[in-house]
A and B are shown apart, each in its own frame.
Chain A
């Protein structure tokens, strides 16, 4: 049974999902193109729908969504993509690599290896435009956010915080521990969609040298 709760008078949250379900159900809801829906945001275990409260009450909206999605199978309508993302751990980019290595009690090569050895799952696209939250970080790299967030983090920077690694796809302030940078422009405000990677997709990092970074 799918659980849906209201949050205020203009959000509903579909709860207790998993990655794949969240991602495929989001696709389905977006395609329905319902007039009252303003935004559908796919999270790791839930979906948030922002709607226009002048068009429908949350009570009625929840009822409608329930009847639309009940008895439907949302496990394999969308094939999740795998993205290979080049990462450069050069010290000019990986401004916190030394600190990460000290705090995690690993040498720098071990840190790099543990960081690019695994495949990650996209938990969330958002917060900032195009920001990617990636789950499945190696436990030995868990670190709290920096006490004093930086005012500028370069576009393409890759950081770690808590149990996630993340990609800053626009320049912004931020508190993640910066471990490297990708030369890829994953967010493009001139395109619609501005980012192709979706919640639920897989990410694999591939280490590149500074020379390779510069030639991108």
Chain B
């Protein structure tokens, strides 16, 4: 079929996501969107598409896709073992494709997720103003489901923009030990011992998903677990349930939470933490809200001056 892609193998968990679903949390519908927004935005940049455009998010092990159009593709995020027609190709650079090409993305190497972008628009209907897949109530994407073998996605407005490469200053490493900056949360004063929180390492449990990252190997004791009034939460909010193992809420998380809130991850660091593999450790570093705002401002300027991407669009 002309102007389509066909899914020959779906991979572990591949889904269509655009930047986010805005304005429906008041009904309990999460914002969804890519776990790693940073890589999603840069993938779209490779194809001259705005930050809100849709990509395919792949998890751990990617799909095999037959491309039935002439245009460009781009892949960015975790480094992946990627082939086009059985020849190794690079990620972080846009690539010309022609009808009949087979894209095969295997293992994510240094991170957990990567994004595939296409130089056209998927012909799909938005649900609650977004194409993001949210399987719980089956909305977005292809009939609200993750990608499956034999799925076909149609495209329109396919273009062939010039080849672009993501500058090295935007390429992150996920395979080293990682500091994650956090801002004190509204129940921070319940933490029994701040020293264990900042001195000891955490690991991200393999039992994490698009709803939340579960941290293990450094239990946070609270002075008390008195009931708190439900309060609003967001991607990057760190909750402490009764067992003391923190949960960092992610794209498909609930709109409100009843667990004490330890803190919130500095917005700029949220994308990075989603890429850290279960066997790597992370440490928290406390920053103030003012410092976080400076980091956000630096990031905004960097995107604007180097790539002409407006994060405040």
- The interface of chain A, by Cβ under 8 A from chain B, is 5-11, 13, 26, 38-46, 48-50, 52-55, 57-59, 123-131, 133, 162, 170, 172, 187, 189, 192-195
Contacts and interface: CB of A to CB of B under 8 A. Distances in A.
Given A38-B31, A44-B229, A58-B289, A7 B186 contact: yes
Contacts of A44: 229-230
27 contacts: A6-B289, A8-B237, A8-B289, A8-B292, A9-B266, A10-B234, A10-B267, A11-B232, A13-B231, A41-B26, A43-B230, A46-B229, A50-B232, A54-B300, A54-B312, A59-B293, A124-B230, A126-B25, A128-B28, A129-B28, A129-B137, A130-B27, A131-B28, A170-B136, A189-B139, A193-B27, A194-B27
Given A13-B232, A42-B26, A5 B127 contact: no
B28 A130 contact: yes
A9 B255 contact: no
Contacts of A43: 229-232, 256
Interface string B202-246: 000000000000000000000000010111111011000000000
B50 to A, nearest CB: 14
A195 B227 CA distance: 28
A129 B29 contact: yes
B232 A9 contact: no
Q: For chain A, what secondary structure do more than half of its interface residues adopt (helix, strand, loop), or is it mixed? A: loop
Interface stretch (B52-60, B85-93, B190-198, B257-265): B257-265
Contact of B256 (A5, A124, A172, A193): A124
A43 B28 CA distance: 12
A95 to B, nearest CB: 22
Contact of B267 (A6, A9, A128): A9
Interface residues of B, number: 47
Interface string B112-154: 0000000000000001100000001111000000000000000
Contact of B127 (A8, A10, A189): A189
A128 B236 CA distance: 18
A129 B311 CA distance: 29
Interface of B: 20, 22-29, 31, 127-128, 136-139, 183, 185-186, 227, 229-234, 236-237, 254-257, 261, 263-267, 289-290, 292-293, 296, 299-300, 311-312
Q: Which 7 A-B pairs have the closest CB atoms?
A: A48-B232, A8-B264, A126-B28, A39-B25, A54-B312, A126-B255, A54-B311
Contacts of B255: 39, 41, 126-127
B229 A126 contact: no
A43 B257 CA distance: 11
